[in-house]
Every structure is written in structure tokens, then in C-alpha cells.
Amino acid sequence: LLYQNVERMGAQSSTQGTVVPTGIQIGAGVKAGAVYRVTEQGTPTQTGGRFDMAIEGRGYFQILLPSGETAYTRAGNFSANGEGQLVTEDGYTVQPNITIPQDTVDVQISKSGQVQVFTQGNATPQTVGQLELATFFNDAGLEAIGDNMLLETAASGAANVGTPGEVGFGEILHKYTEASNVDAVSEISALIIAQRAYEMNSKVITTADQMLSVSAQVKS
């Protein structure tokens, strides 16, 4: 609640040392105290995409922005650019930097984040990189910058970087992406309940108005 202090309680009211016992505060409305971001995991959805990945458990992929800052995301719909680097839909490089050879015919990404490729004429897989995940003490303190990306802040704490599958870090699901964590049925149900409650209160006010109107007519 927001208040305007017309007369502050405890303020001196005379030169004899008397004080205002209660004061006067005028309510000026309310404001949102905070907006909490729900960080529960969404449902992994199989896509079959060659470079698609979902995180099962805690953690964020690390993305290098053009500004040089590191952003964090759980959106793992990646692809390879013209140089073979693993990038986001906007072309931002996934960190640590992983380069896929041009003659790659198949890609395998383990639950622990090890990236292996099969190249033409070679039946033995070649390891080309190791993915890392970042976790935060306070996920709700991350700053959203759009495109499913977040930035570290003083409220989130410093990023704790580790290998997928280690204690405190989720695992990588290759050829999957994470769907929205919003429960559409629950949210729509809550909206309907709120609407019905509003309608009920409106009817109560209407009925009370009608009763007062009848009472006024009887008296007159």
C-alpha cells in the first residue's frame, strides 16, 4: 500500500514536547511488490532436430552476445552457422564454442554434454566439444532481456558453471526441446474462477441496490 503522510505519528505537536499519538495517513493506492518468474521445468518435446537440446533438471545454456556479455537460456533449439559453430536462432554463439566439421554426417550429444560427430568415410565418432551448464543461487533474480535469454545480476548471484549430469546440474536430452512450463488448463480455470467471482459480486451489488431502491420507495 502507498501512503501520503499528512501528519506523521510520533511527530512533535507543540513546544512543550507533546507528540501526535496516531497521525494521519492517506492511502494512495497499491503497486506490485515483485513479479516472480516461475522456473519450473517444462515438458521435453522430441523434435528430431540435429542440434536441438533440452535440459532435464537445473541449468542454463551459456550464450555469447555481440556485446561480449554472457546470456543464459533454456531454449535449446540450436543450429550450425556457415563456419560450423553451434549458434542460437539469432546467430549468437553457444559457449563453450563448439565447431562442427563441414563433412559431418551425424551428431551425437550425450546426457553429460559431450558432442561427438561422425564424418564421411569414418565410422569412429570424433569428440568436438563439451557443453557446460550454468546454475544460479536465485534464478528469480535473473534479468530477462527477451528471446528467452537472461542476464546475471547481483540478485541472482554469480553463475556456477559445471558439466551436465554432475550434482546440482541437469542432463542433456539430444533432439528434444523444452516446451512452455505454463499449465494452460490451470491458468484458464483460474481465469474462469476470477470471472465468476466478479459476476457474483456484481450481482450482490445489483441486488443490494434494488433492495435499497424498494426500501426508499416504500418510505416515500
Any domain includes 83: yes
18 and 111 both lie in a single domain: no
Q: Are residues 103 and 128 in the same domain?
A: yes
Instruction: Specify if 3 maps to a domain.
Output: yes
Are residues 153 and 68 located together in one domain of the fold? yes
- State the average pLDDT over residues 119-134: 93
The answer to the question of residue 213 being in a domain is no
- pLDDT tier, 1 (very low <50, low <70, confident <90, very high otherwise): low
The larger pLDDT score, comparing residue 168 to residue 27, is at: 168
Q: What is the mean pLDDT of residues 98-118?
A: 95
Q: Are residues 130 and 51 in the same domain?
A: yes
Check residue 15 and give its pLDDT.
82
Compute the average pLDDT of residues 154-166: 96
Domain assignment of residue 26, yes or no: yes
pLDDT at 20: 79
Are 100 and 121 contained in the same domain? Answer: yes
Q: How is 55-69 classified by DSSP, letter by letter?
A: EESS-BEEEE-TTSP
Q: What percent of the chain has pLDDT over 90?
A: 68
Rounded to 5°, angle at Cα 217 from 214 and 219 = 110
Owning domain of residue 112: 44-178
- pLDDT in the model for residue 220: 59
Number of domains the chain contains = 2
Band of residue 60 on the pLDDT scale cut at 50, 70, 90:
very high
Residue 151: C-alpha distances to residues 63, 87, 93, 126, 179 (Å) = 10, 18, 15, 33, 21
Per residue in 10-33, pLDDT (tens digit) is: 788 788 888 878 878 888 888 887
Q: What pLDDT, on a 0 to 100 scale, did the predictor assign at position 7?
A: 79
89 and 168 share one domain: yes
The C-alpha cell at 39 is 522456473
Pair (155, 60) in one structural domain? yes
- Same domain, yes or no: 159 and 86: yes
Note whether residue 114 is domain-resident: yes
Same domain, 76 and 22: no
Both 66 and 133 in one domain: the answer is: yes
Asked, for residue 203, whether it belongs to a domain, the answer is no
* Count of C-beta atoms within a 10 Å radius of residue 93: 19
Q: Report pTM.
A: 0.76
Q: Which residues pair with 133 in a beta bridge?
A: 162
Highest mean pLDDT among 13-22, 33-42, 74-83: 74-83
